[in-house]
Amino acid sequence: MYVPPLSQVKERAPPAVGGWNRFWTHSTRRRRIRHGRQRNHRWRNPWRSLPTARALVQGAYVAFFLLVGVEFHSFVAQAVSGGPVTAHRPPAVEGFLPISALMSLKYYLLTGNYDEIHPAGLTILIAALVSAFLARKVLCSWVCPIGGISRALSWVGERTLWRRRKKEVLLPVWADQALSSLKYFLLAFFLWAVVWSMDAMAIMKFQRGAYNHAADAKMLLFFTEMSFTTAVTLAVLVLLSVVVKNFWCRYLCPYGALLGLASFASPQRVVRDRDACIDCRACTRGCPVEIRVHEKPSVWTPECTGCMTCVSSCPVERCLTVTRKGAATWSPWLIPVVGLGTIFLFWGVARVTGYWNSYLTVDQLAEAYRQARELAHP
Ligand code: SF4
Ligand code: SF4
Ligand code: SF4
């Protein structure tokens, strides 16, 4: 009779958790964590500095986009005043015009003509989609300033509301899934409104219209001349982001949903070695989108941002790894390097080839900006 060696015999938890079984399960888990820590006490996670690097890079992007906002505000004010214009219009503001970029992408695919009004917006969208496919949602976890602010609000929540929280995740699975679907409904609506309903001629008319020319100024007015309703909505979102980790990004952002679908096809993912895992749940506690990493053989979901916090939190050697499908394990550093490298590559090529700066002159922009308050969506 074949008797498996002791190392291959897996510990089995009792089926029901309650009464004495609950005590057994908890004490077994504690024992596994203690034994695992003893076994790995000499191993220090070599990627533990990754979250700090990520926070620094994303903080730098928040500062960069604040400067972009200040520069753009000066440009709009000078252009509208009719006096000399010394400020520059930073093309990066077009990153905040995702609907226009989506239309431009469809127009480009149908006609081969690149958007000349907001070319940077289209370049950023294509770069984000390609980087999501190659290295998951690196734009969300390393670049996007809204994601950075959202993580900072989560940090405030961690230091105040959740300090004594015993649970790894706040919301039950059904509530998390129901809320997560909201952003896909929003994305479906925009895809229907743009990709399905508009043909090339309709998009071209929209691109050449005054509304599209002034879209960046309208976005600026949204923040500088905020209505009471907008202010209350933003305040509620801020509060919700303190209470629930990354509320906006997880549940409402259609741009993140689109990148999630692109990253779902990505060959890279975080893989867990079930035999090595000691069930300490540090991975799940650290995950900014509360994925239950400790329960999964591999993290294959569009919600994963590829931030690598889980991999850098794991106390067991080679337990959580980044694996390319059918190939060897990758260093977790390669995810941001490949993702950010892709984004920078697209930016560099767009600059060199003239697909970064708008073709609109200062006079054309000034004329559109002067009408910005009155312009309604066509
Ligand atoms: S989900 Fe949206 S807002 Fe959040 S980080 Fe990603 S793109 Fe930015
Ligand atoms: S599963 Fe890991 S890589 Fe994915 S979002 Fe969570 S912590 Fe980041
Ligand atoms: S995979 Fe998660 S639960 Fe398992 S040892 Fe690593 S951090 Fe702990």
**Using CA atoms, how far apart are residues 21 and 15, in angstroms rounded to an integer?**
8
- Does residue 14 register a pLDDT over 50? no
**Using CA atoms, how far apart are residues 146 and 59, in angstroms rounded to an integer?**
11
Domain count, the chain: 1
pLDDT of residue 318: 86
CA of residue 153 to ligand 1 center, whole Å:
14
Residue 36 domain-assigned?
Answer: no
pLDDT of residue 21: 47
Residue 19 domain-assigned?
Answer: no
Best of 37, 285, 314, 322 to mutate for ligand 3, by most ligand atoms within 8 A of CB? 314
pLDDT of residue 173: 86
Residue 128 domain-assigned?
Answer: yes
Q: Is 10 left (phi over 0), alpha (psi -120 to 50) or beta?
A: beta
CB-based pocket (< 6 A), ligand 2: 270, 286-289, 291, 293, 299, 304-310
**Mean predicted confidence (pLDDT) in 270-286:** 92
**Using CA atoms, how far apart are residues 80 and 229, in angstroms rounded to an integer?**
27
- Strand 268-272 relative to strand 298-299, pairing: antiparallel
- Does residue 100 register a pLDDT over 60? yes
Per-residue burial over 233-254, b if 16 or more Cβ lie within 10 Å, else e, is: eeeeeeebbbebbbbbbbbbbb
**Mean predicted confidence (pLDDT) in 312-323:** 90
Higher pLDDT, 275 or 3: 275
Residue 309 domain-assigned?
Answer: no
**Mean predicted confidence (pLDDT) in 242-261:** 94
CA of residue 318 to ligand 2 center, whole Å:
16
Residue 140 domain-assigned?
Answer: yes
What's the whole-number average pLDDT of the chain? 87
Higher pLDDT, 166 or 284: 284
pLDDT of residue 195: 79
**Using CA atoms, how far apart are residues 84 and 126, in angstroms rounded to an integer?**
35
**Mean predicted confidence (pLDDT) in 241-254:** 94
pLDDT tens-place string over residues 160-182? 876 666 677 778 889 999 999 99
Q: Which pTM value belongs to this model?
A: 0.86
Q: By the 8 A CB rule, do 122 and 104 touch?
A: yes
Residue 82 domain-assigned?
Answer: yes
pLDDT of residue 31: 61
CB-based pocket (< 6 A), ligand 3: 272, 277-283, 293-294, 313-314, 316, 319-320
Domain that holds residue 213: 50-264+334-370
Q: Of the bound ligands, which one is closest to the alpha carbon of residue 29? A: 3
Residue 27 domain-assigned?
Answer: no
| Token pair 């200040």: residue | 70
CA of residue 313 to ligand 3 center, whole Å:
8
- Does residue 80 register a pLDDT over 70? yes
- Supply the residue whose CA is at minimum distance from atom 2 of ligand 1: 256
Among 211, 199, 219, CA closest to 90: 219
pLDDT of residue 11: 41
Cβ–ligand 1 contact at 249 (below 6 Å): yes
- Does residue 4 register a pLDDT over 50? no
Residue 303 domain-assigned?
Answer: no
**Using CA atoms, how far apart are residues 295 and 175, in angstroms rounded to an integer?**
18
